[in-house]
Amino acid sequence: MRIIATVLTILTILAFFTYQSPAQETIRIGLMITTEANERFDNIVFGTDQRATLGLDTELGERDYPGWPWNSLHAFVVVVDPQTNEEYYSYKNFKPFPEDTNKFYAEYGLTVNPYIGENITVTWGILPAAIDSAYFTKPYPTGDLFSINMKENKSYTYNYMDYGKPTKTLFKVWFSRDINNIDEATGANGTISLYPNPAADVLTLRNIRDKSRYTIYNILGEVAKQGLLGQKISQINIQNFQAGYYYIKIADNYGNQLNRSFLKK
Protein backbone atom coordinates (compact mmCIF):
# COMPACT_ATOMS: atom_id res chain seq x y z
CA MET A 1 0.00 0.00 0.00
CA ARG A 2 1.43 3.32 -1.03
CA ILE A 3 1.35 6.03 1.58
CA ILE A 4 0.97 9.51 0.16
CA ALA A 5 2.62 12.04 2.44
CA THR A 6 0.40 15.02 2.95
CA VAL A 7 1.78 18.33 4.01
CA LEU A 8 -0.61 20.71 5.70
CA THR A 9 0.29 24.36 5.83
CA ILE A 10 -1.39 26.97 7.91
CA LEU A 11 -0.16 29.88 5.82
CA THR A 12 -0.83 32.71 8.15
CA ILE A 13 -2.17 33.44 11.58
CA LEU A 14 -3.43 36.96 11.75
CA ALA A 15 -4.73 38.50 14.93
CA PHE A 16 -7.12 41.45 14.80
CA PHE A 17 -7.24 43.73 17.84
CA THR A 18 -9.29 46.85 18.48
CA TYR A 19 -8.33 48.60 21.73
CA GLN A 20 -10.80 51.29 22.74
CA SER A 21 -12.13 49.96 26.03
CA PRO A 22 -12.14 46.49 27.66
CA ALA A 23 -15.72 45.93 26.51
CA GLN A 24 -14.68 46.34 22.86
CA GLU A 25 -11.62 44.07 22.74
CA THR A 26 -11.70 41.64 19.85
CA ILE A 27 -8.89 39.38 18.68
CA ARG A 28 -9.32 37.10 15.68
CA ILE A 29 -6.81 34.41 14.67
CA GLY A 30 -7.70 32.84 11.34
CA LEU A 31 -6.14 29.67 9.91
CA MET A 32 -5.90 28.49 6.32
CA ILE A 33 -5.16 24.79 5.86
CA THR A 34 -3.96 23.29 2.57
CA THR A 35 -2.49 19.97 1.43
CA GLU A 36 -0.38 18.70 -1.43
CA ALA A 37 -3.51 16.94 -2.66
CA ASN A 38 -4.88 20.42 -3.51
CA GLU A 39 -7.27 20.37 -0.55
CA ARG A 40 -7.96 23.62 1.25
CA PHE A 41 -9.75 24.38 4.50
CA ASP A 42 -9.95 27.94 5.81
CA ASN A 43 -12.89 27.97 8.22
CA ILE A 44 -10.95 27.89 11.52
CA VAL A 45 -11.02 31.10 13.59
CA PHE A 46 -10.32 31.54 17.31
CA GLY A 47 -9.47 34.34 19.71
CA THR A 48 -11.23 36.60 22.22
CA ASP A 49 -14.54 38.45 22.26
CA GLN A 50 -16.23 40.27 25.14
CA ARG A 51 -19.58 38.81 24.06
CA ALA A 52 -18.25 35.28 24.43
CA THR A 53 -18.86 32.79 27.23
CA LEU A 54 -16.89 29.68 28.13
CA GLY A 55 -19.53 27.51 26.45
CA LEU A 56 -20.83 27.28 22.88
CA ASP A 57 -21.74 30.78 21.59
CA THR A 58 -23.97 30.28 18.57
CA GLU A 59 -24.47 34.04 18.13
CA LEU A 60 -20.69 34.33 17.45
CA GLY A 61 -20.77 31.54 14.88
CA GLU A 62 -19.73 28.70 17.19
CA ARG A 63 -21.69 25.52 16.51
CA ASP A 64 -21.32 21.78 16.99
CA TYR A 65 -20.51 19.85 13.82
CA PRO A 66 -20.46 16.05 13.36
CA GLY A 67 -17.12 14.47 14.25
CA TRP A 68 -15.06 12.08 12.19
CA PRO A 69 -14.84 10.52 9.66
CA TRP A 70 -14.86 13.05 6.83
CA ASN A 71 -13.96 12.21 3.23
CA SER A 72 -11.87 15.35 2.75
CA LEU A 73 -9.45 17.60 4.62
CA HIS A 74 -11.13 18.83 7.77
CA ALA A 75 -10.26 20.54 11.06
CA PHE A 76 -11.97 21.69 14.23
CA VAL A 77 -11.27 23.75 17.30
CA VAL A 78 -12.60 21.90 20.34
CA VAL A 79 -14.95 23.86 22.59
CA VAL A 80 -15.32 22.37 26.10
CA ASP A 81 -18.35 23.46 28.12
CA PRO A 82 -17.07 23.87 31.73
CA GLN A 83 -20.52 23.17 33.20
CA THR A 84 -21.18 19.89 31.39
CA ASN A 85 -17.57 19.01 30.43
CA GLU A 86 -18.88 18.15 26.97
CA GLU A 87 -16.71 18.67 23.88
CA TYR A 88 -18.04 20.36 20.76
CA TYR A 89 -16.37 20.30 17.33
CA SER A 90 -16.61 23.84 16.02
CA TYR A 91 -14.91 25.96 13.35
CA LYS A 92 -14.81 28.91 15.77
CA ASN A 93 -13.90 29.35 19.42
CA PHE A 94 -13.91 32.72 21.18
CA LYS A 95 -13.30 33.42 24.87
CA PRO A 96 -13.96 36.53 26.97
CA PHE A 97 -11.02 38.69 28.06
CA PRO A 98 -11.54 39.17 31.83
CA GLU A 99 -12.10 42.83 32.65
CA ASP A 100 -10.21 42.70 35.97
CA THR A 101 -6.80 41.79 34.56
CA ASN A 102 -4.28 43.02 31.99
CA LYS A 103 -3.04 39.49 31.27
CA PHE A 104 -5.09 36.57 30.05
CA TYR A 105 -4.16 32.95 29.26
CA ALA A 106 -6.26 30.71 27.01
CA GLU A 107 -5.97 27.30 25.36
CA TYR A 108 -7.48 26.39 22.01
CA GLY A 109 -7.62 22.71 21.06
CA LEU A 110 -7.12 21.89 17.38
CA THR A 111 -7.70 18.55 15.68
CA VAL A 112 -7.03 17.96 11.97
CA ASN A 113 -7.79 15.10 9.59
CA PRO A 114 -5.83 15.50 6.34
CA TYR A 115 -7.65 12.42 4.98
CA ILE A 116 -4.53 11.27 3.09
CA GLY A 117 -1.02 10.91 4.48
CA GLU A 118 0.62 11.27 7.87
CA ASN A 119 2.80 14.38 8.21
CA ILE A 120 1.45 17.84 8.95
CA THR A 121 3.39 21.08 8.67
CA VAL A 122 1.92 24.03 10.53
CA THR A 123 3.18 27.47 9.46
CA TRP A 124 2.19 30.75 11.05
CA GLY A 125 2.93 34.43 10.60
CA ILE A 126 4.22 37.16 12.88
CA LEU A 127 2.17 37.39 16.07
CA PRO A 128 0.91 40.87 17.02
CA ALA A 129 1.79 42.82 20.15
CA ALA A 130 -1.56 41.91 21.71
CA ILE A 131 -0.15 38.39 22.18
CA ASP A 132 2.67 38.22 24.74
CA SER A 133 3.62 34.65 23.88
CA ALA A 134 2.15 31.56 22.27
CA TYR A 135 3.09 27.88 22.01
CA PHE A 136 1.93 25.15 19.66
CA THR A 137 1.93 21.90 21.68
CA LYS A 138 1.03 18.21 21.66
CA PRO A 139 -0.16 17.23 25.15
CA TYR A 140 0.71 13.82 26.62
CA PRO A 141 0.13 12.37 30.11
CA THR A 142 3.85 12.55 30.93
CA GLY A 143 4.33 16.00 29.40
CA ASP A 144 4.10 17.74 26.05
CA LEU A 145 5.51 15.69 23.16
CA PHE A 146 6.44 19.00 21.56
CA SER A 147 6.11 22.64 22.56
CA ILE A 148 6.98 25.13 19.84
CA ASN A 149 7.52 28.79 20.63
CA MET A 150 5.45 30.51 17.96
CA LYS A 151 7.33 33.83 18.35
CA GLU A 152 10.72 32.21 17.72
CA ASN A 153 9.63 29.70 15.06
CA LYS A 154 7.41 29.97 12.03
CA SER A 155 6.54 26.31 11.39
CA TYR A 156 6.55 22.77 12.77
CA THR A 157 6.00 19.33 11.21
CA TYR A 158 4.40 16.45 13.11
CA ASN A 159 2.48 13.22 12.55
CA TYR A 160 -1.25 13.81 12.55
CA MET A 161 -2.26 10.27 13.60
CA ASP A 162 -2.39 9.19 17.26
CA TYR A 163 -3.26 5.50 17.67
CA GLY A 164 -5.44 5.57 14.56
CA LYS A 165 -7.23 8.80 15.48
CA PRO A 166 -6.54 12.42 14.50
CA THR A 167 -4.01 13.99 16.86
CA LYS A 168 -5.26 16.69 19.21
CA THR A 169 -2.95 19.67 19.58
CA LEU A 170 -3.17 22.91 21.56
CA PHE A 171 -2.49 26.57 20.96
CA LYS A 172 -1.46 28.04 24.32
CA VAL A 173 -1.79 31.84 24.11
CA TRP A 174 -1.01 34.66 26.57
CA PHE A 175 -2.88 37.86 25.72
CA SER A 176 -2.03 41.30 27.11
CA ARG A 177 -3.57 44.77 27.35
CA ASP A 178 -0.11 46.27 27.97
CA ILE A 179 0.54 47.29 24.35
CA ASN A 180 1.69 50.52 22.75
CA ASN A 181 1.71 49.96 18.99
CA ILE A 182 -1.77 48.71 18.21
CA ASP A 183 -3.67 51.98 17.78
CA GLU A 184 -0.69 54.20 17.11
CA ALA A 185 3.10 54.42 17.16
CA THR A 186 5.16 57.32 18.51
CA GLY A 187 8.15 58.59 16.54
CA ALA A 188 10.29 61.69 16.13
CA ASN A 189 7.72 63.23 13.84
CA GLY A 190 4.80 62.74 16.24
CA THR A 191 2.22 60.00 16.59
CA ILE A 192 1.35 57.82 13.60
CA SER A 193 -2.37 57.10 13.64
CA LEU A 194 -5.01 55.49 11.42
CA TYR A 195 -8.73 56.29 11.12
CA PRO A 196 -11.63 55.65 10.73
CA ASN A 197 -12.01 52.09 11.95
CA PRO A 198 -14.26 50.54 10.65
CA ALA A 199 -13.77 52.18 7.25
CA ALA A 200 -15.93 52.08 4.12
CA ASP A 201 -13.93 53.69 1.31
CA VAL A 202 -10.77 55.43 2.53
CA LEU A 203 -8.22 54.95 5.32
CA THR A 204 -6.56 58.16 6.57
CA LEU A 205 -3.09 58.12 8.13
CA ARG A 206 -1.65 61.06 10.07
CA ASN A 207 1.98 62.04 10.80
CA ILE A 208 3.43 59.87 8.06
CA ARG A 209 7.05 60.46 7.07
CA ASP A 210 8.00 60.73 3.42
CA LYS A 211 8.61 57.39 1.66
CA SER A 212 6.93 55.29 4.34
CA ARG A 213 5.90 51.89 2.98
CA TYR A 214 2.62 50.12 3.71
CA THR A 215 1.29 46.58 3.13
CA ILE A 216 -2.31 45.46 3.70
CA TYR A 217 -3.10 41.75 4.25
CA ASN A 218 -6.44 39.96 4.29
CA ILE A 219 -7.34 37.37 6.94
CA LEU A 220 -5.66 34.61 4.91
CA GLY A 221 -2.34 36.44 4.81
CA GLU A 222 -2.63 37.43 1.16
CA VAL A 223 -1.40 40.89 0.14
CA ALA A 224 -4.42 43.03 -0.72
CA LYS A 225 -2.54 46.26 -1.44
CA GLN A 226 0.88 47.83 -0.93
CA GLY A 227 2.75 50.98 -1.82
CA LEU A 228 4.48 54.17 -0.65
CA LEU A 229 3.06 57.05 1.40
CA GLY A 230 4.51 60.44 0.55
CA GLN A 231 2.63 62.98 2.66
CA LYS A 232 2.23 63.79 6.34
CA ILE A 233 -1.49 63.06 5.97
CA SER A 234 -2.10 60.25 3.49
CA GLN A 235 -5.11 58.30 2.33
CA ILE A 236 -5.47 54.75 1.02
CA ASN A 237 -8.43 53.83 -1.16
CA ILE A 238 -10.03 50.55 -0.01
CA GLN A 239 -13.35 50.99 -1.81
CA ASN A 240 -12.88 47.78 -3.84
CA PHE A 241 -11.96 45.62 -0.84
CA GLN A 242 -14.40 42.92 0.19
CA ALA A 243 -16.00 43.44 3.60
CA GLY A 244 -14.04 41.88 6.47
CA TYR A 245 -10.95 42.22 8.64
CA TYR A 246 -7.58 43.36 7.29
CA TYR A 247 -4.13 43.97 8.77
CA ILE A 248 -1.90 46.92 7.79
CA LYS A 249 1.84 47.29 8.42
CA ILE A 250 3.53 50.67 7.97
CA ALA A 251 7.25 51.40 8.39
CA ASP A 252 9.44 54.43 7.67
CA ASN A 253 13.20 54.84 7.34
CA TYR A 254 13.51 56.07 10.95
CA GLY A 255 12.34 52.89 12.66
CA ASN A 256 8.78 54.04 13.36
CA GLN A 257 6.16 51.33 12.79
CA LEU A 258 2.41 50.92 12.89
CA ASN A 259 0.86 47.44 13.04
CA ARG A 260 -2.90 47.65 13.07
CA SER A 261 -6.02 45.76 12.10
CA PHE A 262 -9.08 47.42 10.64
CA LEU A 263 -12.53 46.43 9.51
CA LYS A 264 -13.75 47.13 5.96
CA LYS A 265 -17.49 47.75 6.06
Distance separating alpha carbons of residues 106 and 52, to the nearest angstrom: 13
Segment 4-23 shows an average pLDDT of 35
44 confidence band (pLDDT: 50, 70, 90): confident
Segment 165-175 shows an average pLDDT of 83
What is the per-residue pLDDT for 161? Answer: 65
What is the per-residue pLDDT for 163? Answer: 53
Q: Which residue ranges make up each domain of the chain?
A: 9-176, 184-264
> Other C-beta atoms within 10 Å of 216: how many?
21
Segment 211-220 shows an average pLDDT of 83
What is the per-residue pLDDT for 64? Answer: 92
CATH 3.30.450.40 holds for 184-264: no
Question: Partners of 95 in the beta sheet?
Answer: 48
Segment 35-56 shows an average pLDDT of 83
What is the per-residue pLDDT for 206? Answer: 80
Which parts of 114-222 are beta strand (E)? Answer: 119-123, 131-138, 146-149, 155-159, 161-162, 165-166, 168-176, 184-187, 190-195, 202-206, 212-218
Segment 67-83 shows an average pLDDT of 83
180 confidence band (pLDDT: 50, 70, 90): very low
Distance separating alpha carbons of residues 99 and 11, to the nearest angstrom: 32
Segment 208-228 shows an average pLDDT of 83
The residues, any chain, with a CB within 8 Å of residue 171's CB and separated by 6 or more, are 29, 46, 107, 108, 110, 134, 135, 136, 137, 150
Q: Does the pTM exceed 0.75?
A: no
Is a pLDDT exceeding 80 seen at residue 178? no
- Per residue in 97-120, pLDDT (tens digit) is 887 777 889 999 988 887 666 677
- Per residue in 233-255, pLDDT (tens digit) is 788 999 999 888 788 888 877 66
DSSP conformation class of 84: T
The three-class DSSP label of residue 137 is strand
Distance separating alpha carbons of residues 51 and 61, to the nearest angstrom: 12
State the Rg of the chain over Cα.
20
Nearest alpha carbon to residue 152 among 170, 134, 169, 137 = 134
Which sign does the torsion angle of CA 124, 129, 133, 134 carry? negative
CB contact at 8 A, 114 and 73: yes
Nearest 5°: CA angle at 45, between 220 and 265? 65
What is the per-residue pLDDT for 39? Answer: 77
Is a pLDDT exceeding 50 seen at residue 18? no
CB contact at 8 A, 90 and 79: yes
Residues 93/99/101/102 CA torsion (nearest 10 deg): 80
Residue 229 identity (one-letter amino acid)? L
Distance separating alpha carbons of residues 60 and 63, to the nearest angstrom: 9
Nearest 5°: CA angle at 49, between 47 and 53? 100
